[in-house]
Amino acid sequence: MSLLEIKSLTQQFGGLTAVSEFSTRFEGRELMGLIGPNGAGKTTVFNIVSGFYKPTKGKILFKGKQIDGLKPHRVTAMGIARTFQNIRLWHDMTLLDNILISQHYNLGYNLFDLFTRNRRYMENEKRMTSIAMELLEQLNLVQFKDEKPRNLPYGIQRKIEIARALSVKPDLLLLDEPAAGLNSSDVQDLIQLIRWIHNEFDIAIWMIEHQMAVVMSLCSWIQVIDFGKTIAEGTPDEIQNNPDVIKAYLGDDNI
């Protein structure tokens, strides 16, 4: 059984077809890339997979179960976590609380648990704090645990967002433009971090990224979309030399 199977996904917004008949498959723990020019439909694909949009058409199977149309927290609970193009953190909470809160949400406490702080609640709290602290140690973030994200450099904020996504122990991690806004030394750190996460956590990673150096050095398979349609897929070498891809990025005049 494939980890993720997407069949003929289509998303329309009024008269605009943002994604058209998009299909892909993760057999296991691959690290794959989704690239394409601005407005090609990449984030829309991630928004559908993570439950933010219900597709107009198509089917998504995750570990054999249909997930298209499920609410985001249900998708997360099934094992898909994501980061966003524009970092989304709670800037008035500490780094540690940012990580704990996403686990809370995932646990689905009821009001009774919260008010009574019963044994179930206390045990979960302990377990979640230990998971969060272990992650912070693994990602070299412990020194910032009591800081608020707004006071930290952008590169660290990116890392916090990734740590938060990992804290729910996903089988598939979606990274939406993780290198956006990073300087070149942070980009090198990010490449190493993603490679390390892929090996250490043994998870599948699907990445949208405009910085070709990042995609080409990390991904074993890359899919390219333009105007919502897949125009190419293959290994980094195949993609770099594909005339349709070059045309989509540079236009006819530059070839």
Ligand X SMILES: Nc1ncnc2c1ncn2[C@@H]1O[C@H](COP(=O)(O)OP(=O)(O)OP(=O)(O)O)[C@@H](O)[C@H]1O
Among 20, 24, 44, 157, binds ligand X (CB under 6 A): 44
For ligand X, the closer of residues 131 and 187 by Cβ is 187
| CA dist list (Å): 21 to 27, 62, 65, 141, 225 | 20, 18, 20, 41, 11
Provide the 3-class DSSP secondary structure of residue 17. strand
Q: Does 40 help bind ligand X (rule: CB under 6 A)?
A: yes
Least gap, CB of 90 to ligand X (angstroms): 23
Among 36, 51, 55, 170, binds ligand X (CB under 6 A): 36
Does the protein bind ligand X through residue 211 (CB under 6 A)? no
Candidate segments 32-40, 91-99, 128-136, 237-245, binder of ligand X by CB under 6 A: 32-40
Taking the complex as a whole, the smallest distance from the CB of residue 79 to ligand X amounts, in Å, to 23
Residue 234: exposed, middle, or buried by beta-carbon count in 10 A (0-12, 13-18, 19+)? middle
**Segment interacting with ligand X, rule: CB under 6 A, options 42-50, 117-125, 164-172, 195-203:** 42-50
Task: Establish if 39 lies at the interface with ligand X (CB under 6 A).
Answer: yes
Asked if residue 33 lies in contact with residue 221, where contact means CB atoms within 8 angstroms, the answer is yes
Q: How far is the CB of 55 from ligand X (least distance, A)?
A: 12
Q: How far is the CB of 176 from ligand X (least distance, A)?
A: 8
When the beta carbons of 42 and 159 are compared against ligand X, the nearer one is 42
Question: Which residues face 62 on adjacent strands?
Answer: 4, 65
Query: Shortest approach of ligand X to residue 107 CB, angstroms?
Result: 29
Please pick, from the candidates 20, 24, 43, 76, the single residue that binds ligand X as defined by CB under 6 A. 43
Q: How distant, in Å, are the alpha carbons of 35, 43, 68, 204 from that of 177?
A: 10, 9, 23, 16
Site membership for ligand X, residue 224 (CB under 6 A): no
How far apart are alpha carbons 42 and 31 in whole angstroms? 16
Report if residue 214 touches ligand X, rule: CB under 6 A: no
Contacts (CB under 6 A) with ligand X, residues 55-94: 85
Report helix angle 154-166 to 184-201, nearest 10. Answer: 10
Strands across the sheet with 172-176, in order?
80-82, 172-176, 204-208, 31-35, 221-226, 229-234
Binding region for ligand X (CB under 6 A):
13, 16, 18, 36, 38-44, 85
